[in-house]
Amino acid sequence: MQTPVITSMQVIPVAGYDSMLMTLSGCHAPCFTRNLVILKDSAGHTGIGEIHGGDYTHDGLMAMRPLVEGMPISKSREVLQLIHKAIDPHADDASEGIQTLDISKLKYVVRSEWAIECAMLDLLGQYLEVPMCQLLGEGQQRSEVEMLGYLFYVSDKGKVPAGDMQYIDESDSPDPWFRLRRQEILTPARIVEEAEAVAEKYGMKNFKLKGGVLRGEEEMEAVKKRFPDARVNIDPNGAWSLKEAIALSRDMHGIITYMEDPCGPEAGFSSREIMREFKNATQFQVATNMIATDWRQFYHTASLNACDIILADPHFWGFDGAVRMSQLLDSWGLTFGIHSNNHFDITLAAFAQVGAAAVGRVAPLDTHWIWQDGQNLLEDTPQIIGGKLQVPTKPGLGVTLNMKRVEEANRLYNSLPSHDRNDAMAMQYLIPGWKYDHKKPCLVR
């Protein structure tokens, strides 16, 4: 008996709408892009995966097609091995990761082949009639996965002149969260409103505020506000100096659960060394998606005991890799989590599967989904209920593509002037001549 064979691999670039979200790297554009991988096999099954957008990732996936098509699904590990042997690092990829949140480097940290791994696991799960999480690590650990409400500062989209690409408006939506997420949110009181709307809609009890936007003191004022019955952390993406981060954290014990990438490289020391010093000085638990984005970086992070929580995004680490990380962290008494960028609901389903298979202590998973909710590419988008993402129970990834929606998202992608993420572009409407500086919050110029 032969296992089914992969008969075709399609790569479909797609785009969706976003808010004017602020981070250290600038401001999200009106649209974000992703790449979808769709595999078909000889048993008539469809396997899907989603990964970051942009031509670099798209072209990388297209180049991998000949290594995937024609292979039996039982050889999925071998397919990945062949891909790894065939890939040469790009000449501009200095393996530095995203220690300074230089968004132009993100495409090198993201490994496009993990979208293929996802789609192959989807096919394998359907063949074996088990959910994907049963095929990972030690198998399924839970049926729902705690998520955190990812709060952002949002700028006023009215500042973009008519005629230029416009941000989506949802002021006539019946849903209070959908209305709010497209409006300006720049004060502590508005951040609290945001948290309340998110809690009301999704039932989340854990929040993260994306910092690196205003002065550190102002951002700390926001998280000191009332987060009813909730826990909060802050992630300035390494914008603060060590001295500043220590001063800002002084009165925050009992308010902040952990700090995510509070400081970055400075004075000849790497972020890993600086974060270790931050931990020594404050006794705060520290999380990262910036200083450990591959196993070599993780070795140095772990050697220095620079972090307690590794946000092992499966788009960086792979599905097998992310779950392997959870096993390692568990045996060392550390905590696993997941980081995200803007994504569609296929990634949401993938996070559900990885979160379900992760062993040990799992921090509430990061997701941008709340900013995209409603733009579904699936017939059966996994739901977040009571702050917990429900793990699909059907075999494989456990979800079905809505091809009509995918075609619409592909049309939007094709209408965009550029396919790469550029957070400096929209900043020019807010601060003319704005330039990225990894040590300056984006609205502090």
Q: Which residues bind ligand GKR (CB under 6 A)?
A: 21, 23, 210, 235, 237, 289, 339-342, 366
- The nearest distance, CB 58 to ligand GKR, in angstroms, is 19
Which lies closer to ligand GKR via its Cβ, residue 287 or residue 401? 287
Q: Which does 381 bind (CB under 5 to 8 A by kind): Mg ion, ligand GKR, none?
A: none
Which lies closer to Mg ion via its Cβ, residue 12 or residue 213? 213
Which lies closer to ligand GKR via its Cβ, residue 237 or residue 375? 237
- The nearest distance, CB 315 to ligand GKR, in angstroms, is 11
Which lies closer to ligand GKR via its Cβ, residue 112 or residue 289? 289
Residue nearest to ligand GKR (CB): 23
> For residue 330, what is the enclosing H or E element?
helix 319-331
Pull the structure tokens for residue 36. 């979808």
Which lies closer to ligand GKR via its Cβ, residue 34 or residue 210? 210
Q: Provide the binding-site residues for Mg ion, judged by CB under 5 A.
A: 235, 260, 289
Q: Which does 210 bind (CB under 5 to 8 A by kind): Mg ion, ligand GKR, none?
A: ligand GKR
Catalytic residue among 58, 157, 208, 339: 339
- The nearest distance, CB 320 to ligand GKR, in angstroms, is 22
The helix/strand/coil state of 436 is: coil
- The nearest distance, CB 106 to ligand GKR, in angstroms, is 7
Edge-to-edge strand list for the sheet holding 335-337: 149-151, 206-210, 231-235, 256-260, 286-288, 309-311, 335-337
The helix/strand/coil state of 323 is: helix
Q: Which does 291 bind (CB under 5 to 8 A by kind): Mg ion, ligand GKR, none?
A: none
Residues making up the chain, counted from first to last:
445
Phi, psi of 141 (to 5 degrees): -105, -25
State the DSSP string of 16-66. Answer: EE---BEETTEE--SEEEEEEEEEEETTS-EEEEEEE-SHHHHHHHHHHHH
Q: Which does 23 bind (CB under 5 to 8 A by kind): ligand GKR, Mg ion, none?
A: ligand GKR
> For residue 310, what is the enclosing H or E element?
strand 309-311
417 CB burial (10 A radius; 0-12, 13-18, 19+): exposed
Query: Does 210 participate in catalysis according to the annotation?
Result: yes
d(CA 443, CA 430): 9
**Contact predicate 22/420, CB 8 Å:** no
CA–centroid distance for 171 within its chain: 27
- The nearest distance, CB 289 to ligand GKR, in angstroms, is 5
Catalytic residue among 28, 105, 201, 210: 210
Which residues are catalytic, by number?
Answer: 210, 339
